[in-house]
Amino acid sequence: MPGNPFRPSFGTSPRVLAGRAGLLDEFDVALDEGPGSPMRSILISGPRGMGKTVVLNELEDRARTRGWHVVRLPEGPGMVEETEQSLLPGLLARVDPAAEQRRVTGGGIHAVGSISTEIDHAYPHTQSLTAMLARLATLAAERGTGVLLTLDEVQSVEVAEVSRLASAYQHLLRDDHEIAFVGAGLPVGIATLLKQRGTTFLRRAERLQLGPLDEAEVADAAVRTVRAAGRVISPEAVRLLVRIAHGYPYLLQLVGYHAWRAAGTDEVITERDVERTREVVVDRMSRLVHTPALLDVPPGQLDYLHAMAQDDGPSATGLVAERLGVSRQHANVVRTRLIARELIAPVGHGLVDVALPYLREHLRRVGE
């Protein structure tokens, strides 16, 4: 029996990418259009598990297919320093014909003959980010290609470093270099970053919010993934998988992975196999998605979430305020902040619901 074709690891590209064809096609067009195309500067946001890093990987692959140099910028503090001192010098040393100038420094006449050489490196660590990117873009242009800069977890980069990156990027844009930028991150973190001075170039980027896949996209990806690996998944199993996945690419992979395992050596994945994945899905979402998502949430907002978790479905905002013992006005302020964090969503007049799959189950578990 073939190995498990589902890949439920964050940032790992699935064997079948669901629901993002339109974005990928628009990016292809942008690379072909030349400098000035709006889709050459993109900022992708979405909650954990929505496939941001996977989309970033796919966009990188599209650029590489066209012969572009892809510079994957380091995440977190020290981004510019590492890029200037290690990443770009190493890349230029490989692709620039002028990177190493060899000159004969001496010779000896032996039976075989020998020559000793000295290497002068053309890219010492003292060159600036702008200068090295400009050189890389010039080399790429000679081959009819360009340079793609990508940055995951944008919200983790310090504002001063974003400003330095912006300065270099804008210089290259002004000189009509073939360059593009794609960043990805969590909505709240990106929103906070964009309020800071020095992030103008990110504000001007095309903002793309990744939403859940629709039911047909989830079903199609599940069927094609299973079929390509030599098995069959029953229609009933597909329908249940769609309900459990809630449109989340990560959950599609997670449910598929454990359903495949539950089927053992059977050729057909059944509804019962999919049903057996629920417990692990709730546990994994709790540990890997909800716990990190709630780390920076203030106590008052956490109290609001726990008050909502008492309901099996949408919560009435007035009832939540009563449970908390606060005024409706105060509760509305908290509600607005939770909506901005994309942890809850309005679902009707005076009603809100959790916005992440299995968040209610997580809140009940940690509140016990």
At 172-219, the pLDDT tens digits run 999 999 999 999 988 877 888 888 887 877 888 888 888 889 999 999
What is residue 99's predicted lDDT score, i.e. its pLDDT? 67
Per the CB < 8 A criterion, the answer to whether 48 and 10 are in contact is: yes
Distance CA 220, CA 223 (A): 5
In terms of Cα–Cα distance, which of 239, 236, 220 is closest to 228? 220
Q: How far apart are CA 143 and CA 68, in angstroms?
A: 9
Q: Are strands 114-121 and 100-108 parallel, antiparallel or unpaired?
A: antiparallel
Q: Is the pLDDT of residue 61 over 50?
A: yes
Please report the pLDDT score of residue 281 as a whole number: 92
Indicate the pLDDT class of residue 109, thresholds 50, 70 and 90. Answer: very low
pTM of the predicted structure, to 2 decimals: 0.80
Question: Does CATH place domain 21-96+119-209 in 1.10.2020.10?
Answer: no
pLDDT at site 126: 61
One-letter-per-residue 3-state SS of the chain: CCCCCCCCCCCCCCCCCCCCHHHHHHHHHHHHHCCCCHHHEEEEECCCCCCHHHHHHHHHHHHHHCCCEEEECCCCCCHHHHHHHHHHHHHHHHHCCCCEEEEEEEEECCCCCEEEEEEEECCCCCCCHHHHHHHHHHHHHHCCCCEEEEECCHHHCCHHHHHHHHHHHHHHHHCCCCEEEEEEECHHHHHHHHCCCCCHHHHCCEEEECCCCCHHHHHHHHHHHHHHCCCEECHHHHHHHHHHHCCCHHHHHHHHHHHHHHCCCCCEECHHHHHCCHHHHHHHHHHHHHHHHHCCCCHHHHHHHHHHCCCCCCEEHHHHHHHHCCCHHHHHHHHHHHHHCCCEEEEECCEEEECCCCHHHHHHHHHC
Q: What is the CATH T-level fold of the domain 215-285, as seen in this structure?
A: Helicase, Ruva Protein; domain 3 (1.10.8)
Burial (CB count <10 Å: 0-12, 13-18, 19+), residue 94: exposed
pLDDT at position 54, please? 87
pLDDT at 118: 45
Whether pLDDT at 113 is above 70:
no
Measured distance CA(263)–CA(182) in Å, rounded: 39
Q: Which residue has the higher pLDDT, 127 or 361?
A: 361
* Mean pLDDT, residues 140-161 taken together: 91
Nearest to 342 by CA among 51, 71, 15, 46: 46
- Spell out the residues 6+ positions from residue 276 whose beta carbon is closer than 8 angstroms to its own: 258, 259, 262
Confidence of residue 270 (pLDDT cuts 50, 70, 90): very high
Beta strands 69-72 and 114-121 are unpaired
* Radius of gyration for the chain, computed over Cα atoms and rounded to the nearest angstrom: 25
pLDDT of residue 135: 93
276, amino acid identity = R
What is the per-residue pLDDT for 198? 76
Q: What pLDDT score was predicted for residue 36?
A: 82
- Measured between alpha carbons, how far is 163 from 170 in angstroms, rounded to an integer? 10
Supply the pLDDT for residue 77.
84
> What pLDDT does 106 receive?
43
pLDDT at residue number 110: 44
- Domain covering 297-367: architecture: Orthogonal Bundle (1.10)
Q: Interior CA angle at 37 toward 211 and 132, to 5°?
A: 100
Taking the alpha carbons at both ends of the chain, their separation in whole angstroms is 42
Each domain of the chain, given as residue ranges in start order, spans 21-96+119-209, 215-285, 297-367
Whole-number Cα distances in Å, 44 to 81, 155, 185, 209, 308: 24, 11, 7, 6, 29
Q: Does the pLDDT of residue 150 top 50, yes or no? A: yes
Answer whether 7's CB lies under 8 Å from 15's CB. yes
Q: For residue 53, what are its two tokens? A: 């890093």
